[in-house]
Amino acid sequence: MAWFGGFTLETHNRIPGEYEVVTVGAAAVGLSAGKIKPESGPYANMSARAALLSLEEGDMRFRLDGTPPTAADGHYLTSGDTLVLTGTQAMEQFQAVRAGEAGGTLRVTYFY
């Protein structure tokens, strides 16, 4: 287990693997399908079971139901916050958009 700013990330039987940086701007963006379900490399044919997301540089809104968020609608995440997504479907349906004038940067680690 690891401690991240107020919550515990359970890593038992989960392998931290793929990593990506996602720029969150004015258009809704999701996580990379090739990271969630890699087709090559050491995690080929595996599905991510969880993802740790940390946000820098700007605030954002996100939704998990497959509907794109807007700058005024969706769950609000502030720069410096972290979010843990569990479940492959939640990661596939995740979409984010900037909540103000400044875009943000999501740093994402996937667990298999």
The 3-state DSSP class for residue 92 equals helix
Radius of gyration of the chain (CA): 14
- Asked which of 2-6, 34-38, 89-93 is least confident by mean pLDDT, the reply is 2-6
| 35, 76 Cβ separation under 8 angstroms | no
Q: What CATH number was assigned to the domain covering residues 15-111?
A: 2.60.120.10
Instruction: Output the DSSP codes for 11-69.
Output: -TT--EEEEEEEEE-SS-EE--HHHHS-SSSTTTT----EEEEEEESS-EEEESSSSPP
pTM: 0.88
Q: pLDDT per residue over 50-67, tens digit each?
A: 999 999 999 999 999 999
d(CA 45, CA 41): 9
Residue 90's H or E segment, with its range, is helix 88-93
d(CA 42, CA 78): 33
| 26, 67 Cβ separation under 8 angstroms | no
What's the pLDDT score for residue 13? 73
Q: Kindly state the percentage of the chain with pLDDT values over 90.
A: 87
Where exactly are the structural domains of the chain? 15-111
18 has a pLDDT exceeding 90:
yes
Q: pLDDT per residue over 66-100, tens digit each?
A: 999 999 999 999 999 999 999 999 999 999 999 99
